[in-house]
Chain A
């Protein structure tokens, strides 16, 4: 058992100049076989491993990662957490995740800095208003907290916003989810990694998958750069590279990989204490605890795997931010980057069995996977352990593209694609 993090361990380690903290997780060489292999050590993959061990007692698990832990979209997103989705299936899935978020730091004994500062979605025209009202009503029927703010209330909730927005994007109202907010994205990966490792899960980095071992329609293992790893069950949680891995296993996905960009400004004193999102103008903004403004931009329209995006996309977003928040006009941006998001035709994820027996896939989170990290891992662990989906993710199977039962969340997804 690992030493617990607490005020006392902090004090004790302060006495030795913080030079003797134990490592948070091991870096073992892979064994020749495991019960379950999870491909992808991002937040979703590590959460899956953690819940496999905790909820289902399956501890003979390896999480393999081609790069470094949490180095993909987990470390690249804009850290927003909310659950105000339109349809029953999504509302329940994201709400389950939000409830797990609320106890996550305590559960993992790792401060994920979850801050329920409130997420506001703006309406700029009559259609936005109707769409927003519909979604607020749907949320409330599903037990998801959501309320309507008039322009005056918006101004009171977020004083730095310009309601006229230069006349270009007038703010006519907003929805507010007070339980929504932000979390420290890296800490989520690290916290799950440490907690999973403590339960016996092997986390193997720098180990790209080169193929799958499939015999008569059943998964037998994974071919990796560190040799063949046999496994009874394999879960794929690799976001942007889902189609590539599905291709190795011999099936196709309805997923398009697109570069999604984000950027941060120079750090400043606290100026915006909530999350403001606007789907209509493709801009969302919050302030990190370091003081940087964290700004999410849109997706490039073309297929890309290069983890970088095009300048016109960020330009459009910053133009909208400058209209909505005139006081940010002279801020300088420190860095911008891109991640590859796996978008689905209905902007909803796929958490499903696959045509290969014993092979499971969790993908298609598109532009909004971070908020679902705990819930995604929780239902995916159930799907793998029981070989059937949990009621919460039963609607999110690959078969919905054949049945036509799509879960269209383009309105709630906030980034158009």
Chain B
């Protein structure tokens, strides 16, 4: 069970949250000019990072607000939480092979 610190409500159990996948994926600025390959990359391809991963969470059984988190996908440690629309804090990369 993860203990996730919602930036608005404080530490809560994982079961109160929904997962929103990778954060900071930018919507295409000119969708009418994109090739099929660019669409495939935007829609389907994932970073699926092993190490520090920036992701979105929704506090669905709490304040119902979205926020971002930086989490180590090997230790499952949550390294930082930060509000939607803000830049991620500087974190040391963690390399795993």
**A303 contact from B14, B37, B44, B73, Cβ within 8 A:** B73
**B74 contact from A252, A305, A403, Cβ within 8 A:** A305
Q: Is the CB of B53 within 8 A of A303?
A: yes
Measured CB to CB, the closest approach of chain B to A258, in angstroms, equals 10
Residues of B within 8 A of A254 (CB): 40, 44-46
**A304 contact from B14, B40, B45, B73, Cβ within 8 A:** B73
**A401 contact from B45, B47, B74, Cβ within 8 A:** B45
B28-41 CB contact bits vs A (8 Å, 1 = yes)? 00000000110111
Q: Is the CB of B15 within 8 A of A312?
A: yes
Q: Is the CB of B40 within 8 A of A253?
A: no
Residues of A within 8 A of B75 (CB): 306
Q: Is the CB of A310 within 8 A of B73?
A: no
With A and B bound together, what is the CA distance between A257 and B53 in angstroms? 12
Q: How many residues of A contact B (CB 8 A)?
A: 25
Residues of A within 8 A of B90 (CB): none
Please provide the chain A residues from 234 to 259 with a CB less than 8 Å away from any CB of chain B in the complex: 241, 243-244, 252-257
Q: Is the CB of B97 within 8 A of A255?
A: no
Whether a CB of chain B sits under 8 angstroms from the CB of A208 is yes
Residues of B within 8 A of A401 (CB): 40, 43-45
Q: Is the CB of B73 within 8 A of A306?
A: yes
Measured CB to CB, the closest approach of chain B to A407, in angstroms, equals 13
Q: Is the CB of B36 within 8 A of A402?
A: yes
Whether a CB of chain B sits under 8 angstroms from the CB of A345 is yes
With A and B bound together, what is the CA distance between A302 and B55 in angstroms? 9
**B46 contact from A208, A252, A310, Cβ within 8 A:** A252
Please provide the chain A residues from 269 to 325 with a CB less than 8 Å away from any CB of chain B in the complex: 301-306, 310-312
Q: Is the CB of A306 within 8 A of B48?
A: no
Once A304-B76, A305-B74, A305-B96 are accepted as A-B contacts, the answer to whether A253 and B1 lie under 8 Å apart by CB is: no
Chain B, residue nearest A310 (CB): B1
Q: Is the CB of B46 within 8 A of A253?
A: yes
Measured CB to CB, the closest approach of chain B to A307, in angstroms, equals 9
Whether a CB of chain B sits under 8 angstroms from the CB of A9 is no
With A and B bound together, what is the CA distance between A219 and B50 in angstroms? 24
Residues of B within 8 A of A255 (CB): 46, 48
**B73 contact from A305, A311, A403, Cβ within 8 A:** A305
Please provide the chain B residues from 1 to 55 with a CB less than 8 Å away from any CB of chain A in the complex: 1-2, 14-15, 18-19, 21, 36-37, 39-41, 43-50, 53, 55
28 residue pairs from A and B, CB less than 8 Å apart? A208-B97, A210-B97, A243-B47, A243-B50, A252-B47, A253-B46, A254-B45, A256-B48, A301-B18, A301-B19, A303-B48, A303-B49, A304-B74, A305-B74, A306-B74, A306-B75, A306-B76, A310-B1, A310-B2, A310-B14, A311-B1, A312-B1, A345-B44, A401-B40, A401-B45, A402-B36, A402-B39, A403-B36
The 7 lowest CB-CB distance pairs between A and B, nearest first, are: A243-B48, A254-B44, A252-B45, A402-B40, A301-B19, A401-B44, A401-B40
**Which A residues are closer than 8 A to B by beta carbons?**
208, 210, 241, 243-244, 252-257, 301-306, 310-312, 345, 401-404
